[in-house]
Chains A and B, each alone.
Chain A
Amino acid sequence: MSLLGHGSEALRARHRRAAFFRLFCAAMTAFGMVVLVVLLTRIWREGHAWVDWQFLSSFPSRKPELAGILSALVGTAWLVVLTALVSVPLGVGSAVYLEEYAPNNRWTRFLEVNLANLAGVPSIIYGILGLAVFVRGFGLGRSLLAGSLTLSLLVLPVIIVASREAIRTVPASFRHAAYALGATRRQAVVHHVLPAAIPGILTGVILALSRAIGETAPLVVVGAFGYVAFVPAGVLDDFTALPIQIYNWTARPQEEFHALAAAGILVLLAVLMLMNATAVWIRQRARRNRPW
């Protein structure tokens, strides 16, 4: 009897511990959610009053009430387009090579290991590479082109990984059917594999580019200027970008500039949300219309 009582006491303790542990895990899970809510409300409260047409259509200024984000917005748009032009063909090409062509040999394994390691290189190191190679080596200066090339190298591993996953989801039967009709490997890839993989690739590309938009450190090293009171007209112009502008405002001691930074963050987050929503929309549409 006492043995049983002792046992059930121990059992109750174990169940108490289990309940406590569950509560602990739930609380920790809640932590992330709470931080996100606090972060977003803080930024919204500080910044939303400043986001208006004047803010979107003005250049940075020493007077907070006149300052705007136009040059940063246009700079970011330039960066995204140029980065996509460079990184998407290279990334998709690499992915096609690795998935469809690469023989199973040492060189291929080296490529794989190299990609895995590149994905872990801090973004600021890409900035240093861009500074030495594009800004100084190629003599591009602190230009949009130098910034975009740097960002391209940075997002290339992300695009390659995403494109490979998309290509891998295309069933082997697609390729076999093409080969059976006498298609060459190139024809099978261009006419059958890639069209089927495009929604997946597009989703990955958009997510990779939205990462590029938020990158600040490599652009600072490459030399994006904080104060650009003009809209860049060509790829060799100086530039600023949304995160750089936000950084500049945040780094100032005055409260008004912090509010401007919050307003800039709202614009940046809106751009990111738009891109992510597009990616999700493409993914879901593709899932519905998938031919397999």
Chain B
Amino acid sequence: MNGPALAERVTPASLFRQSIDWKELAVRGGLLLCASISVLTTIGIVVVLATESFGFFRHVPVHDFLLGTRWAPLLEPRSFGVLPLVSGTMIVVVGSAVVAVPTGLATAIYLSEYASPRFRSIVKPVLEILAGIPTVVYGYFALTTITPALRAIFPATEVFNAASAAIVVGVMILPMVASLCEDALSSVPRAQREAGFALGATRGEVATQIVVPAAASGVVASFVLALSRAIGETMAVTLAAGATPRFSLNLLESIQTMTAYIVQVSLGDTPAHTVEYQTIFAVGALLFLITLGLNVLAHRFLRGIHRIGE
């Protein structure tokens, strides 16, 4: 008795619903379009870098670019060996890792294994502030504070030098290392620590021999992500390290990173479609491939964690 009556009442409603299904569909389509923008961004990056680099490599052989040790695209005689930029980038990255990896990991250990909730509630915002300071501010800090300090210790230091850039980039990526490591350490089950304490281990032994190894893949992933960030860091290294492409490992000399080169060309007015203009796309493509590789690597490490978690 109720059944047919309900059905009758439902029928117009479902007809109504049929008619607004188009609206639903439009909304769904619009949202899908929004989500596709990020895919278009990726495609745009790849296409732009690929096509302009292709133009560049028609003038400069790939192996001259990748293996050449002299980078002088703006001066005669021109030379397009990218290794000086790569070595400059690597000096800064390795130097920043020397600063950020031990401090970041130790900070994470302190926060996750020792600190009281009150202390954590002070330190974590400070780290967030450090992470939120714009990179140009770090560049200013490097040039006006770190470099003079270095020159006081090592008088041979040039005004623009790799060491200052490395230190400041290390400070910049420190919060990232610390917070990602802390996430990894905190996700280690409490029972594992307590098992260690039950066997008589000290807090330090539990931290270094149980917690850090258990969180190893997350810790390594945080290092890799931070390094990738350091490679792409631009303004601080441009200000601190200068613009002298040099295939050397001297920390006290001015160098040039890949990113700093792109800035240098952008600040000048190089006409489009010249080889000089195309260099920034070739260097950018190299930068993109390196950071992409590192990010994929980091995510592979992070997937490792999830497998253990299952």
- Could you list which residues of chain A lie within 8 angstroms of chain B, going by C-beta atoms? 14-15, 17-22, 24-29, 31-33, 35-36, 38-39, 42-43, 46, 89-94, 96-98, 101-102, 110-111, 114-118, 120-129, 131-133, 136, 153, 156-157, 160, 182, 184-186, 210-211, 213-217, 220-221, 223, 226, 243, 246-247, 250-251, 258, 261-262, 265, 268-269, 272, 276
Whether B292 contacts A120 by the Cβ 8 Å rule is: yes
Could you tell me which residues of chain B, from 19 to 55, have a CB within 8 Å of some CB in chain A?
20, 23-24, 27-28, 30-35, 37-39, 41-42, 44-45, 48-49, 52
Q: A117-B296, A153-B41 are in contact. List 19 more A-B contacts (CB 8 A).
A: A18-B202, A32-B103, A33-B123, A39-B133, A39-B141, A39-B145, A46-B144, A94-B38, A111-B38, A120-B228, A121-B45, A124-B232, A128-B45, A129-B44, A220-B263, A243-B136, A265-B137, A272-B132, A272-B134
B contact residues around A258 at 8 Å (CB): 140, 143-144
A contact residues around B284 at 8 Å (CB): 124-125, 128
A contact residues around B23 at 8 Å (CB): 186
Whether B232 contacts A122 by the Cβ 8 Å rule is: yes
**B135, CB-defined interface residue at 8 Å:** yes
B contact residues around A15 at 8 Å (CB): 202
Given the known A-B contacts A32-B174, A39-B141, are A214 and B136 also in contact in the complex, defined by CB atoms under 8 Å? Answer: yes
**B96, CB-defined interface residue at 8 Å:** no
Assembly CA distance A122 to B284 (angstroms):
10
Whether A243 contacts B41 by the Cβ 8 Å rule is: no
Given the known A-B contacts A25-B106, A121-B45, are A90 and B37 also in contact in the complex, defined by CB atoms under 8 Å? Answer: yes
Chain B 245-260 interface 0/1 with A at a Cβ cutoff of 8 Å (1 = within): 0000000000000010
Given the known A-B contacts A32-B178, A43-B140, A124-B287, are A18 and B13 also in contact in the complex, defined by CB atoms under 8 Å? Answer: no
Could you tell me which residues of chain B, from 141 to 183, have a CB within 8 Å of some CB in chain A?
141, 143-145, 171, 174-175, 178
Whether A246 contacts B137 by the Cβ 8 Å rule is: yes
B contact residues around A17 at 8 Å (CB): 202, 204
B contact residues around A27 at 8 Å (CB): 106
Residue in B34, B37, B259 whose beta carbon sits within 8 Å of that of A122 in the complex: B259
A contact residues around B42 at 8 Å (CB): 114, 117-118
Q: Which residue on B lies nearest to A207, using beta carbons?
A: B132
B contact residues around A153 at 8 Å (CB): 37, 41
Residue in B20, B44, B140 whose beta carbon sits within 8 Å of that of A246 in the complex: B140
6 residue pairs, one from A and one from B, having the closest CB atoms:
A122-B232, A214-B134, A93-B34, A28-B106, A18-B202, A18-B204
A contact residues around B114 at 8 Å (CB): 22, 25-26
The smallest beta-carbon distance between A225 and chain B, in angstroms, is 10
**B129, CB-defined interface residue at 8 Å:** yes
Whether B37 contacts A217 by the Cβ 8 Å rule is: no
Whether B205 contacts A123 by the Cβ 8 Å rule is: no
Whether A123 contacts B234 by the Cβ 8 Å rule is: yes
Whether B136 contacts A246 by the Cβ 8 Å rule is: yes
The smallest beta-carbon distance between A29 and chain B, in angstroms, is 5
B contact residues around A160 at 8 Å (CB): 38
Given the known A-B contacts A35-B130, A265-B140, are A125 and B45 also in contact in the complex, defined by CB atoms under 8 Å? Answer: yes
Whether A115 contacts B234 by the Cβ 8 Å rule is: no
B contact residues around A215 at 8 Å (CB): 134
**B84, CB-defined interface residue at 8 Å:** no
Whether B232 contacts A116 by the Cβ 8 Å rule is: no
**B295, CB-defined interface residue at 8 Å:** yes
The smallest beta-carbon distance between B250 and chain A, in angstroms, is 22
Assembly CA distance A215 to B234 (angstroms):
10
A contact residues around B111 at 8 Å (CB): 29
Q: Which residue on A lies nearest to B107, using beta carbons?
A: A29
A contact residues around B107 at 8 Å (CB): 25, 28-29, 31-32
| From A91, A111, A250, residue with most partner B Cβ within 10 Å | A250
Given the known A-B contacts A114-B39, A184-B17, A216-B134, are A123 and B232 also in contact in the complex, defined by CB atoms under 8 Å? Answer: yes
Whether B37 contacts A156 by the Cβ 8 Å rule is: yes
